[in-house]
């Protein structure tokens, strides 16, 4: 089984939740990855608030298209 792929890096947890909800609406399972210290302490500076949106590798291209159509700039880590 291939590892999940990062399809979007959001500047904040809230922005990542929006991207995840959009993907899940279209039937693409998504998970969030983040530095736990940034999330616990509420830090959003210097990359601490960055949150990665991950999807199954087989659905990565479709996920990127959905995010692009939604105006969310896809970014790979």
Mean pLDDT score of the chain: 83
DSSP 3-state of 10: strand
Q: Which of 21, 28, 20, 24 is nearest to 58 (CA)?
A: 28
CATH architecture of 5-69: 2-Layer Sandwich (3.30)
Domain boundaries along the sequence of the chain: 5-69
Mean pLDDT of 1-10: 89
Which strands sit side by side in the sheet containing 31-34, from one edge to the other?
Answer: 5-10, 51-55, 31-34
Residue-wise pLDDT tens digits, 16-43: 999 999 999 999 999 999 875 555 555 5
């Amino acid at each position: 089984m291939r590892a999940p792929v990062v399809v979007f890096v959001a500047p904040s947890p809230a922005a990542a939740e929006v991207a995840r909800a959009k993907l899940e609406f279209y039937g693409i399972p998504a998970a969030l990855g983040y530095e736990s210290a940034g999330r616990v302490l509420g830090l959003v500076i210097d990359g601490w608030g960055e949150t990665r949106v991950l999807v199954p590798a087989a659905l990565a291209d479709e996920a990127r298209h959905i995010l692009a159509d939604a105006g969310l700039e896809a970014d790979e880590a």
